[in-house]
Amino acid sequence: MKFKWRNLIFFCLLLLLVGCKDREAITQKEIDQFINSKNLEHVSIQKLDNNEYYIFSSPYVYIYRSSSDYVKSTGLIKEGIVIGGLEKDSIGLIINNLQVLRDAKTYVVLIDGKTREYQYGGEKYLIIKDNRIWNPTAQLKITFLSIENKKIFETDY
């Protein structure tokens, strides 16, 4: 039997394609099973991307990738706002501060002396997505502002 390079190359490409297959998107059933297994109550689920979700259950913020690949963080609680779930490019907030929920219209994220302002629509569960956020050395300031640009809440993290 004559050895053919073409067959070897085809076989190697096939192995490469199988090995590089993207992980399938997380299903709602998987998330529900995880929530039930952890006995979480008062849960909010926010999609970060097809392979990651934020699961909020005060005072915890989970970053969920699979039942065996998740991060649970006990959030920093300050003036009715839970801050946790620090991940590269994002951080999660549970907002129970009534003044922020009612009056804030924007929030400002200050990292490395540079600010970015985002619209705020009164969300109780908020994921701040900013590519300057870097775990484990995130140093940021979050400020919620009213429509008159008056400071309602500010914290360093």
Q: Using one digit for the tens of pLDDT, what is the confidence trace for 84-123?
A: 998 889 999 999 999 999 999 999 999 988 999 999 999 9
Q: What is the pTM of this model?
A: 0.80
d(CA 96, CA 81): 6
Distances (CA, A) of 137 to 70, 76, 115, 133, 140: 20, 16, 18, 8, 10
User: 155, 142 in Cβ contact below 8 A?
Assistant: yes
Both tokens assigned to 156: 């360093």
Question: So what's the pLDDT on residue 95?
Answer: 97
Which residues sit opposite 77 in a β-bridge? 82
Report domain extents, the chain. 24-156
**Virtual torsion, Cα 69, 74, 76, 79, nearest 10 deg:** 120
For residues 13-19, average pLDDT: 53
Which residues sit opposite 57 in a β-bridge? 60
Question: So what's the pLDDT on residue 76?
Answer: 87
